[in-house]
Amino acid sequence: MYQRYLLLLTASAALSLQAGADPLTEEDFFGEIPVVLSASRLSQPLSRAPAAVTVIDQDMIRASGFRDVPDLFRLVPGFNVAYTRDNTWGVGYHGLADAFSRRMQVLIDGRSVYTPGFGEVPWASLPLSIEDIQRIEVVRGPNAAAYGANAFFGVINIITKDPLEVQGGRSSLQVGEQGMRGALFRYGGGGGSDFRYRLSLSDQRRDRFDTQTEKTTTRHLDFRSDYRISNSNELTVNLALSRGDWRQGRDREDDPLRSVDTGSEHFQARFRRVIDPATEWTLQFYHFRLHKDDDFVFDETSIPLGPIAADLGYTQWREDIEFQMVTSPARQLRLAWGAEARWEGAESNGYFYQMDDRTGSMYRLFGNLEWLLSEQWVINTGLMAEHHYYTGLDFSPRLAINYMISNDHALRASIGQGYRSPTFFEVEGDARLVSPTGFDWGQIFAPAGNLRPEKILSREIGYVGHFKPLDLRVDARLFDDRVSNLIGSDDSTGPYIFSNSSFADIRGADIQARWQPDPRVDLILSYARVNIDSNDNDISNSAPWNNFSALGIFRLPKGWEASASVYRVGYLEWLDDGDTTQAYTRIDARIARHWKWRGHKLDFALVGQNLGGDRYTEFRVQNEFDRRAYISLGLDW
């Protein structure tokens, strides 16, 4: 049984296909016993995983009508999503959300994409097309025992399609209101050989809220190749680039309209060796570089400073090498263990005034053990030992006990501890107002010096059940998270300085359900209720009391498909430079058809968003999301 799970998941797009195997389908992940990889680095049925996991599959991605990856997390219980400005997104889970997504580990095929300088996830600069995503596994809750720093509130693991799944060519085009334009070309080859590949080119254009000011054009290239060296060895290489030409600013003296150039480069190589059905090891290296050019001069008339030079550009980078072994030391035991070394840095004239590059090295040892104690009891233990260049040595342990009521129902109790290490800017950030001649008018941000890592103690009780007569799956959890040493900024005594000044007790429940009363109908529901008690009122209000989403998919005759979704988000206050968001309800709908023409596959879709008619605000009061629509055309050959 366990060997079958291991072969299924290690053959996935995250770890490449096993030599000679057929490509996996969604049925492998949503069959009688769904399996996930991201909770413990081991392939496990959801009922035996040490954490709650939401899987966003291709059906959900397509039916949602979303074209931007962050929007997809509206389907996950407890997540809050908002477009902020300047082509950035706020994505948070159970509160404490701002424009940086600082407390969430985000992976693309195993490589981390959060940045070392500011800790944010550069969603708009990721060289990733939504059409290339096979599935997304979202671990709902801290997972530092498996993934270390930044897996503070959860893990988002984006797994892209294997080249064998996308053989041949595809072109697609989207056109819609609010300046929405999109185009994709993709080609996959080598399906019958030891060398297979996938190449994707994409051009995405958005105006978001105000067509007169903010306009963005982002292009990306994504190339992946899988080479089967032998029946036991395989090498996967990924090269991805993005380039952005963004017009941003608010047409104000201190924030003029201007053009901004951005870009990112990603390189990843993974060697995988399968020793036997229960044992394999991987060696992975990846590099990424993110840069932004954004310098300008403005006149500040509110105070007699005269012209001021602003440089909001930066360069951030990371190199990472990781070894991982998956083995079964005994019949009832499975173990994933490994080591990781990371070198990262950031450079910015505007954020690190007259400083050289900020660099640091981080090292990790990790292990996650699954012990099948009996047919009813499963014990998962995990430990991450991490040495960070700012905070030294930290240990993140986890213990989870799963009780199998039956093959279809299980209870889970877990306790774990994790950390989030401070970023370069939080510790050493020095931002100033400077005249074009170099005169220093004063600091906006000052270095904080020593900061302790943020710490979370997480406790939860969970339930996973499959009611077969109804074809209803339920995943629910009660959680109690104690967060201390929260890092925030305060300017009460002069410039902003980061400090470990806050704490938060986060309690509540979230639940997701998927019901298929008929093969032609698929209903996905999620609900979260969160309460935050903190010494900071802004933090206490940073999560809505209630958060609900529903997605219905209806498969109709003759290739037609319809879907509708509802999102209800309660009142919340986004942190840092965000504003209060009043409660809102958003309704989206999609009608689509696919058919064959002269041996080719064609598809068409019409998507309407916020069809309820009432505008709502996202993150800032200026961001008013109104009713809009777009059409999509696709051709496979």
Sign of CA dihedral 479, 480, 485, 491: positive
What's the longest Cα–Cα distance across the chain? 76
- Residue 183 has which token pair? 């185009």
Question: Residue 55: which pLDDT band, with cuts at 50, 70 and 90?
Answer: very high
> What type of residue is 451?
L
Contact 459, 401 (CB under 8 A): no
pLDDT (tens digit, 9 = 90+) per residue, 228-269? 999 999 999 999 999 998 888 776 666 778 889 999 999 999
pLDDT (tens digit, 9 = 90+) per residue, 169-225? 999 999 999 889 999 999 999 988 899 999 999 999 988 776 557 788 999 999 999
Q: Of 88 and 293, which is predicted with more confidence? A: 293
Residue 449 main-chain phi, psi, to 5 deg: 80, -135
E strands, 491-583, are 497-518, 521-534, 546-555, 560-569, 572-573, 580-581
pLDDT (tens digit, 9 = 90+) per residue, 277-286? 999 999 999 9
- Residue 543 has which token pair? 């999560």
Which neighbouring-strand residues pair with 284? 270, 322
Specify burial of residue 212 (Cβ count, 10 A radius: 0-12, 13-18, 19+): exposed
Among candidate residues 348, 374, 235, the one with its CA nearest the CA of residue 290 = 348
Share of the chain above pLDDT 70, in %: 92
Question: Residue 5: which pLDDT band, with cuts at 50, 70 and 90?
Answer: very low
Q: Is the pLDDT of residue 458 over 50?
A: yes
d(CA 511, CA 477): 6
Among candidate residues 588, 585, 584, 575, the one with its CA nearest the CA of residue 620 = 575
Long-range contact set of residues 623-630: C-beta below 8 Å, sequence gap at least 24: 623/82, 623/83, 623/84, 623/85, 623/208, 623/209, 624/209, 625/209, 625/586, 628/176, 628/177, 628/178, 628/180, 629/176, 629/177, 630/67, 630/174, 630/175, 630/176, 630/177, 630/180, 630/606
Domains delineated in the chain: 2-636 (2.40.170.20)
Question: Residue 300: which pLDDT band, with cuts at 50, 70 and 90?
Answer: low
Instruction: Provide the 3-class DSSP secondary structure of residue 351.
Output: coil
- Residue 156 has which token pair? 């988002």
Q: Is the pLDDT of residue 468 over 90?
A: yes
Question: Residue 305: which pLDDT band, with cuts at 50, 70 and 90?
Answer: low
Contact 51, 141 (CB under 8 A): yes
Contact 427, 451 (CB under 8 A): yes
d(CA 179, CA 217): 10
Query: Which string of b and e fits 342-366 if b means at least 16 CB within 10 Å?
Result: bbbbbbbbbbbbebeebebebebeb
Query: Which string of b and e fits 532-563 if b means at least 16 CB within 10 Å?
Result: bebebebbbbbbbeebbbbbbbbbeeeeebeb
Q: If you count DSSP H runs as helices and E runs as strands, how many of each does the chain have, helices first?
A: 6, 39
d(CA 59, CA 63): 6
Among candidate residues 123, 26, 20, 140, the one with its CA nearest the CA of residue 77 = 140
Q: Is the pLDDT of residue 309 over 70?
A: yes
Q: Of 436 and 268, which is predicted with more confidence? A: 268
pLDDT score of 471: 94
pLDDT (tens digit, 9 = 90+) per residue, 573-617? 998 888 888 999 999 999 999 999 888 999 999 999 999 878 999
C-alpha gyration radius of the chain: 24
Q: Encode 78-101 in three state secondary structure.
A: CEEEEECCCCCEEEEECCCCCCCC
For 221, other C-beta atoms within 10 Å of its C-beta total 14
> Is residue 388 left, alpha or beta, with left meaning phi > 0 and alpha meaning psi from -120 to 50?
beta
For 598, other C-beta atoms within 10 Å of its C-beta total 6
* CA distance from start to end of the chain: 38
Instruction: Provide the 3-class DSSP secondary structure of residue 604.
Output: strand
Contact 115, 106 (CB under 8 A): no
Over residues 393-399, the mean pLDDT reads 97
Q: Name the percent of the chain in helix, strand, coil, to the closest 5.
A: 10, 60, 30
Sign of CA dihedral 42, 330, 325, 392: positive
Mean pLDDT is lowest, of 24-38, 52-66, 535-549, for: 24-38
Report the relative pairing of strands 440-445 and 431-434 from DSSP bridges: antiparallel
Q: Is the pLDDT of residue 543 over 60?
A: yes
In order of 116, 339, 566, 590, the CA distances from 154 in angstroms are 18, 21, 24, 30
